[in-house]
Amino acid sequence: MTFSANPWVHDTARIAAIRQELPDVWTYDIELVDRTRHENYRFRPGQFNMLYLPGVGESAISISADPDSRGPVAHTVRRAGNVTQALGRLEPGDTLGLRGPFGTGWPLEQAVGRNVVLVAGGIGLAPLRPAICQLLAQREQLQSLTLLVGARSPDLLLFGAELEPWRRAGLDIELTVDRAAADWRGQVGVVTLLLDRLELIDPAATLLLTCGPEVMMRYTVQSALRRGIPPGNLWLSTERNMQCAIGLCGHCQLGPVFICREGPVFDWPRIAPWLFVEGL
């Protein structure tokens, strides 16, 4: 990690480029203004930064960049409330504050020799993108690598232009949408149906990483367990309201777990007693 000595202190960062991905989703390529700090900036796939707009507030945003790229660091953002709307009014060259990276990453060291299945719903593909880049870089060490993606409709598939290059690099991709257009050749239905039907050569040697709406992850876990994937091989990225990002304020607490510090990526046995429990 490349924290400032004090994790409350922001680095000043500059927006290098902005790309519209979907009607309400933009990717911001951000670089630290201090060149030395930018060059030393490292993160693990699955980690997040706190993006700060003075006078507006701060939001947790996952890093969607390739970890091996030394260029600007991509963050893919859906416009939701105060901070993300205000971010939408910024332009390349504008500055903002950045703290991070924070949190745990995907357990990619466990991928070697295994069948790896990634299950993404909607913008949940953003925190998985750095993992996809790293897994493709070590593709020959994996048994298989499959991405199952669900979106509401074909025009709302995130990173659509990257799917073909990823396929060519060795990622098997299956897509499904809730509502299909006339020219749609993929599946129709929820993403967990893709998992139900996926041919699993060796469930015990399968590692599954998932990120998306909680209801999607709940059905993904159920399907994976039914298919015989061991509970400890299931990894989920969770979201809660975050303020300090360093396990002090308690806003993201789930039972005894601080999502910001112990997560956001958890293995299923660790988070199962608390996630999907009403009232928590």
Ligand X SMILES: Cc1cc2nc3c(=O)[nH]c(=O)nc-3n(C[C@H](O)[C@H](O)[C@H](O)COP(=O)(O)OP(=O)(O)OC[C@H]3O[C@@H](n4cnc5c(N)ncnc54)[C@H](O)[C@@H]3O)c2cc1C
Shortest spacing between CB 80 and ligand X, in angstroms: 4
d(CA 173, CA 177): 13
**Of the residues 1, 9, 33, 80, which one makes contact with ligand X according to CB under 6 A:** 80
When asked if residue 275 is in the footprint of ligand X (CB under 6 A), the reply is no
Tell me how many degrees the CA angle 21-275-64 measures, rounded to the nearest 5.
25
Q: Which stretch binds ligand X (CB under 6 A): 76-84, 111-119, 155-163, 268-276?
A: 76-84
When asked if residue 244 is in the footprint of ligand X (CB under 6 A), the reply is no
Q: How many CB atoms lie within 10 A of CB 5?
A: 5
First-to-last alpha carbon distance for the chain, in angstroms, is 30
**Of the residues 14, 37, 78, 218, which one makes contact with ligand X according to CB under 6 A:** 78
Shortest spacing between CB 23 and ligand X, in angstroms: 13
**Of the residues 126, 133, 265, 271, which one makes contact with ligand X according to CB under 6 A:** 126
When asked if residue 216 is in the footprint of ligand X (CB under 6 A), the reply is no
Shortest spacing between CB 160 and ligand X, in angstroms: 17
Q: Which two tokens stand for residue 71?
A: 């260029």
d(CA 156, CA 65): 20
Which amino acid does the sequence have at 203? P
- Residue 77 or 171: which CB sits closer to ligand X? 77
When asked if residue 84 is in the footprint of ligand X (CB under 6 A), the reply is yes
Residues 99, 11: contact at Cβ < 8 Å? yes
Q: Which two tokens stand for residue 57?
A: 């507030």
When asked if residue 49 is in the footprint of ligand X (CB under 6 A), the reply is no
> Site size for ligand X, by CB under 6 A?
21
Tell whether the torsion through CA atoms of 149, 150, 153 and 155 is positive or negative: negative
Shortest spacing between CB 65 and ligand X, in angstroms: 11
When asked if residue 213 is in the footprint of ligand X (CB under 6 A), the reply is no
Shortest spacing between CB 276 and ligand X, in angstroms: 17
Which amino acid does the sequence have at 206? T
Return the closest-CA partner of residue 73 out of 152, 13, 125, 26: 13
When asked if residue 262 is in the footprint of ligand X (CB under 6 A), the reply is no
CA atoms within 13 A on the CB side of 213: 12
Shortest spacing between CB 244 and ligand X, in angstroms: 12
Binding interface with ligand X (CB under 6 A): 48, 57, 59-62, 76-78, 80-84, 123, 126-127, 239-240, 242, 264
